[in-house]
Structure 1
Amino acid sequence: MTPEAARPTIAAAIIVQDGKVLLVQRRVKEGSLSWQFPAGEAEEGESAGQAAVREAREETGLTVAESKVLGERVHPATGRTMAYVACHVVEGSASVVDDDELADLAWLKHDQLAEYVPHGFYEPVQEYLDAALSS
């Protein structure tokens, strides 16, 4: 097994509420900033859904529940296994809780996504967002 394959899966929480999706602006090591979903490594014995729910709470303070896993892939830029989990808000309002990792957050409408994430999303996530954000 390669060291990359042994690394934990990264679980991303795709949180839609009131026709908008939550993105966080991550402080990446190079000092540049990147918009993405609340996400982090699954811990020992934790499912992707459990990890996405925990990461959403740790990063944004939101209490969310897992709706369904949208898909898994090896991320083309990072080489990490990613699991994308649709979540819905149970309670709370989002704020930057983990300010070591996050610089900002935003609730975005469908027509704002390309401005924040110009390269687009993993196809099952894009299809989910197209449906969830058009209603």
Structure 2
Amino acid sequence: MGSLGGLGVTSDEVRPPIAAAVIVQDGKVLLVKRRVKEGSLSWQFPAGEVEPGETGSQAAVRETQEETGLTVADVKVLGERVHPNTGRTMIYVACQVVDGSASVVDDEELVEFAWSSLGQIADYVPYPFYGPVQEYLNESLSS
């Protein structure tokens, strides 16, 4: 493959993907409210940039721990896309809780968190989720 240097793209300009943890427990999904709105986003999944040497799944697990204090394990990657609002590559990772209970650990980034049932999601996130994520939530959540 070689470097991207010949294309006039430096590694500084290539922003790493964002890994999002889709965490379902007891028929509800964990959502966090960000202090800094990214585009029009406010309530979203625990998420953050994939660091060098990390997989999307590893980043989703790490970010969940850093933001909410929950220890989770990745179950499967639900899909990947360029987010229509932010233009960032998103990797969505289904995770299950291994230990702990959610709290706002990173209070510089997060304001609050919520466990939402399927019927409540639109109150937090008033637009459709990425298809594979919505399908997973439809299968995993109680209404």
Q: TM > 0.5 between the two?
A: yes
Name the aligned partner's letter for residue 81 of structure 1.
T
Offset of 1:39 from its aligned partner?
0.1
RMSD: 2.0
Deviations for 1:58-115, whole angstroms, at most 9, x for unmatched residues? 0000000000000000000000000000000000000000000000000001100011
Residue 26 of structure 1 is matched in structure 2 by 34
Alignment gaps of 5+ in structure 2: 1-8
Offset of 1:6 from its aligned partner?
1.3
Paired residue secondary structure (1:97): coil
Would the aligned equivalents of 1:70 and 1:85 in 2 still touch at CA under 8 Å? yes
Paired residue secondary structure (2:134): helix
User: For the structure 1 residues 115 and 4, does the alpha-carbon distance in structure 2 shift closer, same or farther, using more than 3 Å as the test?
Assistant: farther
Would the aligned equivalents of 1:61 and 1:95 in 2 still touch at CA under 8 Å? yes
Name the aligned partner's letter for residue 110 of structure 2.
L
Misfit runs of 4+, over 4 Å:
2-5
- Alignment of 1:118 onto 2:126: yes
Alignment gaps of 5+ in structure 1: none
User: For the structure 1 residues 75 and 51, does the alpha-carbon distance in structure 2 shift closer, same or farther, using more than 3 Å as the test?
Assistant: same
Residue 15 of structure 2 is matched in structure 1 by 7
- Normalising to structure 2: TM-score of the pair? 0.88
Residue 80 of structure 1 is matched in structure 2 by 88
**Distance (Å, rounded) in 1 between the aligned partners of 2:71 and 2:105:** 13
Offset of 1:33 from its aligned partner?
7.3
- Normalising to structure 1: TM-score of the pair? 0.93
Would the aligned equivalents of 1:70 and 1:125 in 2 still touch at CA under 8 Å? yes
Matched residue pairs, number? Answer: 134
Residue 77 of structure 2 is matched in structure 1 by 69
Offset of 1:4 from its aligned partner?
9.1
User: For the structure 1 residues 113 and 93, does the alpha-carbon distance in structure 2 shift closer, same or farther, using more than 3 Å as the test?
Assistant: same
Would the aligned equivalents of 1:24 and 1:35 in 2 still touch at CA under 8 Å? yes
Offset of 1:116 from its aligned partner?
0.6
Name the aligned partner's letter for residue 89 of structure 1.
V
